[in-house]
Amino acid sequence: MTEATKLTKKDFTSDQEVRWCPGCGDYAILATVQSLLPDLGVTPENTVFISGIGCSSRFPYYMNTYGFHSIHGRAPAIASGLSITRPDLDVWVITGDGDGLSIGGNHLIHALRRNVNLKILLFNNEIYGLTKGQYSPTSRVGMIAKSTPMGSIDHPLNPISLALGAEAGFVARTIDIDRKHLTEVLHAAHEHHGAAFVEIYQNCIVFNDDAFTLVTDRETKAFNQIRLTHGEPITFGPDGQKAVVRRDDGSLEVVDTADAGDRIVRHDARAADPTLAFALSRLSHNPDRPTPFGIFRQVERPTYEDQLHEQIGHAQQQRGGGELRRLLESGNVWEVGAS
């Protein structure tokens, strides 16, 4: 693409009025994505956003690309079908903690384990927003909400741990108000060939405001954001006074850097074994104490699409050169009612 035809944010912005509550974190994510896409060198006609149901799922309306506002929890399944049949497209999935982890939990898990070439952005605000404030799969124990007036007794899901357990090749966490970090993570997710899962802490100003204060407030975030950088020792704090070290049982803990000695863990996002990444995901179940941000895992393996098309090509060569009738009549077949 020449400089004269370079696209801009405007080329990826639709003419639809954006309808989220004033102050919603979704605005920041939308603006970041619209600004990022031109820098990725993609075009609107080769880009698709597929969503499920929820506040975040309005996203495709606001993108001047192809899009599909699908049904509750099924966005990964629909996106998988598109990515498999049209591997030339950039396919993004927009979902939320309710849509993606409740009714859509199985679809999300299987898209990740199959390694379908999708970029899955999960907006996590720890609440159901569109249906007006019920607790969600990521809500904390004790959450007072419309559906839990005495406090939630459910143990919350950890989206990063779930994605790592499904052996996703790319797993990351970022936050709505940090545009620089959000941009860097989304850029890396797009460059990854295979399933990329990004959890985005997103503030719901109406039903769960200030859920992420410890990791966003100017006075506290330096003490509670653990920034992960591949190949670097994991330290944090205004002056790096805190460090992550490994316990004897393999789990991780935060200690004073002065007391850590040579035990400080060095981050390895490209390790084939996800053990370290999983241990990092368990440092903070919810952002109520020091919480890792960045890329937990970045490992490529064959995608579902690549393997499927290779298999189809092999079958065509072995069983009829691509003629459908010869394929159907090969192997173990029989005719119903035949004499």
| Dihedral pair phi/psi, residue 189, rounded to 5° | -60, -40
* HSE of 10, CA atoms in CB hemisphere, 13 A: 1
CA contacts within 13 A on the Cβ side of 55: 28
Tell me what the mean pLDDT of segment 270-286 comes to.
Answer: 94
Tell me the pLDDT tens digit for each residue of 168-227.
999 999 999 999 999 999 999 999 999 999 999 999 999 999 999 999 999 999 999 999
Q: What is the pLDDT of residues 243-263, one digit of tens each?
A: 999 999 989 999 999 999 999
Count the Cβ atoms, other than its own, within 10 Å of residue 283: 17
Residue ranges covered by each domain of the chain: 3-214+292-304
**What is the pTM for the complete model shown?**
0.93
Per-residue pLDDT band at 339 (split at 50, 70, 90): low
* Burial per residue of 20-33, b for 16 or more beta-carbon CB atoms within 10 angstroms, e otherwise: beeebbbbbbbbbb
For the 3-214+292-304 domain, the top CATH level (class) is alpha beta
* Secondary-structure breakdown of the chain: helix, strand, coil percentages, each rounded to the nearest 5: 35, 20, 45
Q: How many CB atoms lie within 10 A of CB 325?
A: 8
DSSP state letter for 158: -
Kindly report, residue by residue over 54-76, the tens digit of the pLDDT.
999 999 999 999 999 999 999 99
Rounded CA separation 63/48 (Å): 9
Confidence of residue 3 (pLDDT cuts 50, 70, 90): low
Residues 266 and 231: beta-carbon distance below 8 Å:
yes
| pLDDT higher than 90, residue 35 | yes
